[in-house]
């Protein structure tokens, strides 16, 4: 029995267990500390940015802890870790040359965070693809569109980004109206639409009526602009268009549309 316990508590057996346990515990403690330092922000955007930084920081810390744990375990088994580390350095150079694009991804991933390109939860347009950033790592970014498609793109391929979450949007609405409608009445109605739109959440009070925009073949185009939070602009635009239709119907204002007459072979008189 004593031999069993002596064998069980040999450093080759108990050592790796202790190293792994301490490593995981240390990682949990560091993770909690990092979250307490970075997770809080003044606003939603700041909180999302800090959360993204926390995730990346935790991944980097985990990588280094695992590397240290591996070296310590190898040392217990009598493996010369100095030569091992030197070998890793040489291998690192070779791998670095072979994986230049991966290195570029890492550098680009860091730049995306530090330069405030976007964070997880932002609505962005990359390469004509618009969606929400659902995952951001040092190597790639995952963006999910409103219809469910997911774009996975290497960070070094992201050269330009339109961030639709950081700044406000200006929605310009052009309303075609029949020539026979009184222009003063039309302007009054559209100003009412703008005032009603200002009551929609995330719409800013400097939204305003602009005036006549263009004379077209069958209509005069009137326009107004509504300023709102970028991430809400699609829903807000739909609500504004509904408002326009409702007000036009209430005031009997006509929005022209193309019509086709079919005479079924009879002569046109």
Q: What is the pLDDT of residues 113-151, one digit of tens each?
A: 666 778 777 888 888 888 888 888 777 889 998 888 999
Domain 114-163 listed as CATH 2.30.30.60 = yes
| Class for the domain spanning 168-250 | alpha beta
> What residue spans in the chain does CATH classification 3.30.70.100 cover?
168-250
Q: How many CB atoms lie within 10 A of CB 1?
A: 5
> What residue spans in the chain does CATH classification 1.10.287 cover?
2-98
pLDDT-based confidence at 196, cuts 50/70/90?
very high
Q: How many CB atoms lie within 10 A of CB 200?
A: 16
- pLDDT score for 229: 83
Spatial distance between the Cα atoms of 116 and 121, rounded to a whole number of angstroms? 13
Angle at 89 between CA 87 and CA 90, to 5 degrees: 65
- Evaluate whether 40 touches 46 at the Cβ level (below 8 Å): no
Pick from 247, 256, 249, 250: nearest CA to 191: 247
Work out the mean pLDDT of the chain and round it to a whole number: 78
Domain 2-98 listed as CATH 1.10.287 = yes
* The model's pTM: 0.48
- pLDDT score for 98: 47
Pick from 57, 53, 52, 70: nearest CA to 27: 57
The yes-or-no verdict on residue 233 having pLDDT over 70 is: yes
> What residue spans in the chain does CATH classification 2.30.30.60 cover?
114-163
The yes-or-no verdict on residue 203 having pLDDT over 80 is: yes
- Evaluate whether 255 touches 175 at the Cβ level (below 8 Å): yes
DSSP secondary-structure letter at 1?
Answer: -
- Evaluate whether 204 touches 228 at the Cβ level (below 8 Å): yes
């Amino acid at each position: 029995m004593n031999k069993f316990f002596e064998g069980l508590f040999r450093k080759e057996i108990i050592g790796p267990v202790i190293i792994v346990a301490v490593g995981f515990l240390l990682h949990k403690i560091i993770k909690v500390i990092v979250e307490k330092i970075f997770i809080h922000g003044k606003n939603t955007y700041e909180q999302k940015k800090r959360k993204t930084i926390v995730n990346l920081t935790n991944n980097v810390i985990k990588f280094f802890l695992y590397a240290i744990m591996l070296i310590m375990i190898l040392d217990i088994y009598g493996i010369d870790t100095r030569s091992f580390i030197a070998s890793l350095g040489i291998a690192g150079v070779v791998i670095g040359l072979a994986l230049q694009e991966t290195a570029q991804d890492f550098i680009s991933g860091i730049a995306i965070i530090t330069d405030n390109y976007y964070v997880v939860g932002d609505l962005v347009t990359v390469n004509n693809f618009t969606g929400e950033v659902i995952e951001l790592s040092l190597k790639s970014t995952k963006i999910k569109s409103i219809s469910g498609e997911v774009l996975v793109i290497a960070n070094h391929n992201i050269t330009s980004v339109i961030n639709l979450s950081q700044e406000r949007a200006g929605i310009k609405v052009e309303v075609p109206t029949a020539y026979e409608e009184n222009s003063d009445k039309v302007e009054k109605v559209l100003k009412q639409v703008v005032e009603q739109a200002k009551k929609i959440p995330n719409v800013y009070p400097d939204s305003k009526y602009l005036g006549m925009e263009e004379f077209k073949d069958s209509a005069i185009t009137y326009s107004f602009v509504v300023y709102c939070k970028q991430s809400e602009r699609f829903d807000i635009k739909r609500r504004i268009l509904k408002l326009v239709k409702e007000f036009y119907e209430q005031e009997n204002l006509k929005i022209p549309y193309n019509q086709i007459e079919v005479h079924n072979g009879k002569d046109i008189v």
